[in-house]
Amino acid sequence: MNQSDTPAPLPPRGSSGASAALAEPTRKVSARWVTGLVLVNVGINAAFFGPINIFIGQQAIGIDPANKEAILSLVTGCGAAVSLVANPLSGALSDRTPSRFGRRAPWVLGGAILATAALLAMSGATAVAMMVLFWCLVQLGANAAYAAITAAIPDRVPVRQRGRVGGLAAMGQTGGILVGAVLGAVVTGNFLVGYVLCAAALLVSVLPYIFHSDDQQLPLAERRPFSLLPFLRSFWISPAKHPDFGWAWLTRLLVYTGNQLTIVYLLFFLRDVIGFPDPALGVLILTGIYAVAVMISAVLAGPMSDRVGRRKPFVIGSSAAIAASGLIMAFFPVWPGALVGAAVLGFGFGAYLAVDFALLTQVLPTATDRGKDMGVINIANSLPQVFAPLLAFLSVQYLGGYVTLFVLAAIIGLLGAVFVVKIKGVD
């Protein structure tokens, strides 16, 4: 991070030197607040993964069946490229938002409205260019909302509660993925209706949080003057100056890449390799198993890491489980193998989401830049959506097929378990 844009450390909440918006939280958040947080995660992930896992693929088949893989990779890759910019930029702008409704709530609502409108437009797209444009707008809006809701956790949740809240947020994310899969199965191939239902789910999901966000207003006196070059330079967080942040970012990138490679062509894997008679239903079944496993492991691992006061052993174990799921899918490409692989992936990824999120909030460089810094972290979530479709396309078409794809996913995911040991400031 550029030194000219680095604020001095802030005193604890309640001291005269910092407002409630910037001080380190010490008071536990309420169940109502956590419920609102979970629902926002449900809606955002339904808007993301219903289209990614089902509707964009079905739309691609309708436009050009022979090139469906290339279309899916193009649309999702372009949207993910937008998210790389939208997430940290929205987080940084929310850090500086002095609205009387707080720093984060306006971005959650505004982003959800934009993504809802774009999903409705996506439902009528009849050409690849239109799909790319509208999906990029979905990513822009949904990532603005996601950046803000993610930054709200270190804003409001004390460290001793972050494993539990991180686990519940992970449960919400997985619930959203499951909602998307349910919608895909319910509409039985009618992706137009599916997009409309995803849009409705997103908009409705943010309302409980908006009405009860308890978002702290940033006083104008504590809003730093805006200067373009220092602002842009602040997005570079030096690994030399903040090594724990750098290693945590790299670990997240690797694990998310392994997970994304495992699921990106799931619809086509069921259709073309396993020969499942109803691929959309198959995605729903696998997603349901995955979702249940994620929810169980997330709500267990998060609070457990809070109690023992350690994060890294949980991250290492969960990363290894994610890698194991890729090997199962690679060498047992039959329906029972897919069922087992989905369960193992879910247990691993659920524990990872809960505990790694808590770990990440403990290595943020400054309190004034929580939104921006969490946005930079979220690049590690989004970047795999850019290159994972390309890696998947090359693996399936030119490098040996789905065995290569899933083995590659396992190797990359396992590297995440290796590099987490480099983090020194968190046990």
Mean pLDDT of 169-177: 84
Could you report the per-residue pLDDT of 83-92, keeping only the tens digit for each? 888 988 998 8
Return the structure tokens found at 304: 């457990």
Contact (Cβ atoms closer than 8 angstroms) between residue 248 and residue 374: no
Give the model's pLDDT for residue 21. Answer: 62
Residue type at 191 in one-letter notation:
F
Distances (CA, A) of 73 to 60, 178, 264, 392: 10, 22, 9, 9
Mean pLDDT of 124-144: 94
DSSP string across 139-200: HHHHHHHHHHHHHHHHHH--HHHHHHHHHHHHHHHHHHHHHHHHHHHHTTT-HHHHHHHHHH
Percentage above 70 pLDDT, the chain? 92
Percentage above 90 pLDDT, the chain? 27
The helix/strand/coil state of 35 is: helix
Mean pLDDT of 173-181: 83
Q: Which of 113, 119, 143 is nearest to 131 (CA)?
A: 119
Contact (Cβ atoms closer than 8 angstroms) between residue 187 and residue 56: no
* Domains, the chain, with CATH or none: 21-219+237-422 (1.20.1250.20)
* Measured distance CA(125)–CA(44) in Å, rounded: 21
Contact (Cβ atoms closer than 8 angstroms) between residue 289 and residue 158: no
Could you report the per-residue pLDDT of 252-305, keeping only the tens digit for each? 899 889 888 888 888 888 988 999 888 878 888 888 898 889 889 988 888 888
Contact (Cβ atoms closer than 8 angstroms) between residue 69 and residue 268: yes
Could you report the per-residue pLDDT of 216-233, keeping only the tens digit for each? 777 776 676 667 677 777
* Measured distance CA(192)–CA(373) in Å, rounded: 36
Q: Which of 190, 403, 174, 349 is nearest to 280 (CA)?
A: 190
Task: Answer yes or no: is pLDDT of 14 > 60.
Answer: no
| pTM of the complete model | 0.76
Return the structure tokens found at 83: 């998210």
- Residue count of the chain, please give it: 427
Could you report the per-residue pLDDT of 331-350, keeping only the tens digit for each? 999 999 999 999 999 899 88
For the chain, what is the total number of helices (H) and then of strands (E)?
15, 0
